Every structure is written in structure tokens, then in C-alpha cells.
A = this chain, B = another copy of it.
Amino acid sequence: MTKVSRFSIPDIEALPQDIRGRILAVQEKSGFVPNVFLVLARRPDEFRAFFAYHDALMEKDGGLSKAEREMIVVATSALNHCQYCVVAHGAILRIRARKPLLADQVATNYRKADLNARERALLDFACKVATESYAVDDTDLDAMRANGFDDEDIWDATAIAAFFALSNRLANVTAMRPNDEFYLLGRTPKET
């Protein structure tokens, strides 16, 4: 079996009930267990906090569409050269945006992707949060507002870029391997 982490992977049967339950649920829904669940399961408390944070940002309703949130993940993870997040969230972006080409475009250079002005402004902001958050100032927030984002949206964009700053570092150091299944998901119109 291909190695999915530099660190040991726990036996699923031995995991706490809630964690085992979450893993089985995602397997049932997706048809496979994304490796992030296996890699992080060795630390149950961190696993719980990680996915609670993830769900609070990525699964709730709100001003940013789910496709917009995935765009932030793909664009910022590409800047961090995080293979797991680019491949896995690239798949989710293709599906949520119903655009088979978008993830590869955003991953390489979001400035050349098929984005509208709002989406471009969102990624300009999120990429600044990812790479030089110390220099974010009022003019950056004003540029977001000029594109129709309110304070809740700006918080969401910030928090998503920040959360994947964490996630990218975990995935990079663990050498977390993207599941083979992600590469093909959402690449044909009929799927999306």
C-alpha cells in the first residue's frame, strides 16, 4: 500500500467512537476515506478541533458561496505548494463550481482563471492573508467592500485562508498523500 503519511496511521478499529463514526460516514458518502482523516486520527483531540473548525468555516451557510470558499483553499494552498489540499480541494472546487477547468487554472495562476471581478478580488485578498498578513490594512478591506463583501464575508475569507495555512503546514510536514480518487473527480460536465 502506498504510504500516506510520514507518521504512523492508527488502526481505525481502535479509534474513539466519534472519530471512527466520522470516518465511516465520510467513507459512506464519498466512497473512500480521504487520507486527511487517517493522518490526523492519531491525535483525537486535535482531529476533533481540526474538523470542528473546518466545518464551521466550510460547511455553514453565509455570504461566500461554497465554491468561493473552495477557490480560496485552492489558491492559497497552491502558494504553499501543498499537494494534498490542491488536489483534494481542487476536486471539491470542480464539483461545487460545476466548472471542470477552474481548479487547475486557480492552482497555477488565479489571475488567469475564469473568474468574475468579485472572485478575483476575493482571491487577491485571501492570497495576501496567506502570504503577508502583517501588511493587510484598511485599503485591503475597502477593496473587498467595493466588490460587495461585508464584514462577515471578510472574516470568512480571512479565517479560511488562515485555517488552510495551518492545514497546508500539517499536510506538507506529514507528506500527506492525496487519494488517487481526487484527481478525476468533477472533470467531466456530467459529474458536476
Contacts and interface: CB of A to CB of B under 8 A. Distances in A.
A169 B162 contact: yes
A45 B50 contact: no
A108 interface: yes
A135 interface: yes
Contacts of A188: 184
Contacts of A173: 129, 133, 136, 154, 158, 162
A120 to B, nearest CB: 10
B166 A163 contact: yes
B155 A80 contact: no
Report the copy number of this chain in the oligomer: 6
Interface size class of A (residues with CB under 8 A): 35 or more
A134 B46 CA distance: 21
A66 interface: no
Interface of A: 6-8, 42-43, 45-46, 48-50, 52-53, 56-57, 60, 78, 80-83, 86-87, 90, 100-101, 104-105, 107-109, 111-113, 129-130, 133-138, 141, 151, 154-155, 158-159, 161-163, 165-170, 172-175, 177, 180, 183-184, 187-188
